[in-house]
Every structure is written in structure tokens, then in C-alpha cells.
Amino acid sequence: MFESLKNLLKHFSGNQNTETAQPVTSNQEIKSATPESNIHELKTMGSQYNTLAKFNLGLGSIGPANRTDIDPQRLNEMYQAIASGKYNVPVKGAVPEICVDGRTDKDGKRLEAPSAAGGTLSVVYGGDLAGAFATDGVNELQLTSQVINTLKSKGHGTGVHGDDHSSCGCGACAKAKTIYQHITERINDIASLVSQYGINLDDTDKQIIVQQANNRLNQADFFADDRATVLNVAQQNGAIFEELVGAHNELGIALNTKPGTTVDRSAIRKDFGDKYDMFVVDAWAFGNAAKDINTIGTEETAQRIAKAITLQNVATASILGHGSLQIVPIA
């Protein structure tokens, strides 16, 4: 149903610009909305998109079911406008640099760069979960430094973010340990979700990723107790820092597979108001990052890193987000 993401992951070593995106014929894929509902208004309107709840995911609070300030019809209009590619804008970078976070800085802006959960930290955690790095004695801070320097040496930008009211305002970073735990507990649910978008994890993939997550959870001091130190180490190694402001108002997950683009959060707010935000996942960039941090060198490992980055993004959405978040593909 959604071949382009699969193809991007399969063929990322080729010229990404030659990928032919398949149009989404979402009317053929009408799904019923999550049954747990004070979003039944959405349901009666015929929700077109998968929710996290459909896969038993979405333990967090961010999502439309927890909002009283949203017009369901406007929400559907926003989803459809985003799916049409209306808000896609070009980026210079080719690997994840900024966070999926839907918020902006105090000037209402974001860097125009590829997005993944935690920005560059998504590459750190995805690479780690795929077993791409040394397994013993190395901690999260050392891996953060290593990955940033590897990406920089290949000419890529790197970035992390905080916000204006927390010591570690990035959920992907603040809850990294919980996200690893979630992957060990819910690997089949997460794999089921990503399979809907053409990414298939075989038993070996699942086993390696869950084993690696468990190794880190059991490794004393792998995760820094003070989460802000991860952001500090990233910046000391050259990562750009964005300070985002305000509360989380994300109402869905934009799953963007158009190479060379991201979704313009400011433009969405301009059309729908500042209570209408989206998480933005630029999945087309995952394979590029996987290739460039793959120290083992095999195609199989690169594939597994790209898959693990995808899992880290889904698991982050599931920990922070509510089951009512809908996944809106842009192909």
C-alpha cells in the first residue's frame, strides 16, 4: 500500500532523487478511528488514516482526543492538506538534523532540515539499537559524540533541541531509557505499524534490536542520569541547538517520504492557527544516515540501522503521544 518508504530503505544507497514516490490513494484505505473515543466526531467523519491506537500504541498524552480546542472538521482538513504535500519545503540536508517536535522557536520558526525523533539523537539511538557501535563500556554520551563527529566528517549538519521551560525539553532525549524499554516490550506492535508502510522486520532484526535494547537497559550508567548532559555534549561537539517554546499541540504524525523536503510547521500554523501542530518524521532521510554511520559496512547492517531509526521514531511517538494521533503519509 505504501511502497515508497520501503523502496527508500531498500535502495537508499542509490541516488535518492531518482526515487519515484507513489501517490497516496488514501480513500482506498479508509480506516475506522480508534474506538476509545471522545474523538467519535472524527470517526463519524470517516478517518482515513491509521492511529497509533490501531497498533495498541500511544501511551502518552499528546493527541487530539485530549483536546477540547480543536474543530474536528478543521483537523481533517489539515490532515488532507498535509497529505497533499502542500506544506513540503526543500531542505539542504540529507540526514536527520532537527526533532520531529511540532513546536517552533520564539519567532515562530524552525530550521529547515530533515526531522527525526531527537534530531541527530535519532541516529545515535537507531544506530545503537541496530548494534552498529561498540557494545561494551561505551555510554550514551560517548556515542552521541561519536555519531556527531562521524556525520560532520561526511559533511552533514547535526542538531538537538530543548525548550523554554525544561532542563531537557526534548522528549526523545528525556525519555530515551523508557523508549528503549518500550521497544523491548512492544516490538511486535511497533513492527506491525511499520509493516503498514512497507518496512518489514524479520525475526533476526527483532531479536538483535531487542537484545541490544536490553543490553543497554542492563548496562550500568549507559543512560546519563541528568538528561540535559546529552544535549550539552551534543552541542559541545557542534550540534546546532533550537530552543522551542510553549506546550505540545501536536495532533498527528506527518510521515514524509518526499526526498529533499520537510514539512513547514510555521505554514501549517499560518493556515490553521497555533493550536494545530504536527509531529514531522522525514523518513526519507533515515537510509542516508544509516549508510553514513555504518561502521560494520554490510548492506544488511545499513538496512537494520535504517529500520532501527524508524522503530525509535515510532517508539518515541508511542511514549509521548496518545493513541488518537493519526499517521498522515506524504508520498
User: Binding residues for Zn ion, per CB under 5 A?
Assistant: 99, 101, 170, 172
DSSP string spanning 222-264? SS-SSTHHHHHHHHHTT-EEEEE-S---EEEEEEE--TTEEE-
What residues contact 215, with CB distance under 8 A and at least 6 apart?
135
Q: Is the Cβ of residue 102 or residue 198 nearer to Zn ion in the bound state?
A: 102
Cell of 8: 527508500
Q: Which is nearer to Zn ion, 62 or 331 (CB)?
A: 62
Q: Which of 179, 196, 152, 189 is nearest to 292 (CA)?
A: 152
C-beta of 83 vs 113, nearer to Zn ion: 113
Contact present, 292 and 151 (Cβ < 8 Å):
yes
Shortest distance (Å) from residue 327 CB to Zn ion: 18
Nearer to Zn ion, 126 or 198 (CB): 126
The answer to whether the CB of 248 falls within 8 A of the CB of 222 is: no
Closest contact distance (angstroms) between CB of 118 and Zn ion is 5
Taking the complex as a whole, how short is the minimal distance between the CB of residue 74 and Zn ion, in angstroms?
26
Q: In the bound complex, what is the minimum distance in angstroms from residue 178's beta carbon to Zn ion?
A: 14
Which residue bears the cell 480546542? 69
Question: Between residues 170 and 327, which has the closer beta carbon with respect to Zn ion?
Answer: 170
Q: With helix as H, strand as E and coil as C, how does 117-179 read?
A: CCCHHHHHHHHHHCCCCCCCCCCHHHHHHHHHHHHHHCCCCCEEEEECCCCCCCHHHHCHHHH
CB of 320 to Zn ion, least distance (A): 9
- Taking the complex as a whole, the smallest distance from the CB of residue 114 to Zn ion amounts, in Å, to 14
**In terms of CB distance, is 129 or 281 closer to Zn ion?**
281
